[in-house]
């Protein structure tokens, strides 16, 4: 399964692509195993820290950066701005404009009702 996941990732991500992980990238394994897996994945890797990232914190040097939250400015490309966080947020904004942007998050434990904005 691990080999298939690496193959799937590399079929989409190319060297030099920006890859944002939304937390909990490695749940098990040794530090060395995790370093080896990440070294085989195409792209430049950025980590939004999750609640199960103890191993990832030990190999933070392999990521371009690690953060709790990040505002990705994509308006210059004609896209909505994106707020990246491991956890869903019910209320967030991008420079005061609550209607222009997307919020991408890693996962939840339980159900979160959809909150669509017009």
Total domains present in the chain: 1
| Residues 60-108 pLDDT 10s | 999 999 999 998 888 777 777 888 999 888 766 655 555 567 888 887 7
Phi and psi based region of residue 76 (left: phi greater than 0; alpha: psi -120 to 50; beta: remaining)? alpha
In a domain, 74, yes or no: yes
Report the distance separating Cα 84 and Cα 38, nearest Å.
Answer: 20
64, 44 Cβ separation under 8 angstroms: yes
**Of residues 76, 88, 3, the one with CA closest to residue 40:** 3
Q: Which residues pair with 40 in a beta bridge?
A: none
Task: Count CA atoms within 13 Å of residue 98 on its CB side.
Answer: 8
Asked if residue 61 is part of any domain, the answer here is yes
Per-residue pLDDT, 96: 55
CATH code for position 73: 3.60.21.10
pLDDT band, very low/low/confident/very high, at 112 (cuts 50, 70, 90): low
pTM: 0.83
> Stretch 42-58: mean pLDDT, rounded?
93
Q: What is the pLDDT of residue 109?
A: 73
């Amino acid at each position: 399964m691990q080999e298939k996941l690496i193959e799937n990732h590399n079929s989409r991500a190319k060297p030099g692509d920006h890859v944002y992980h939304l937390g909990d990238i490695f749940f098990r394994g040794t530090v060395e195993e995790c370093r080896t897996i990440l070294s085989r994945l195409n792209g430049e890797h950025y980590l939004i820290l999750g609640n199960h990232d103890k191993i990832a914190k030990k190999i933070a040097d392999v990521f371009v950066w690690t953060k709790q939250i990040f505002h990705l400015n994509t308006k210059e490309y004609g896209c909505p701005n994106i707020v990246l966080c491991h956890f869903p947020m019910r209320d967030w904004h991008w420079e005061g404009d609550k209607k222009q942007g997307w919020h991408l998050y890693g996962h939840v434990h339980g159900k979160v009702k959809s909150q669509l904005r017009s």
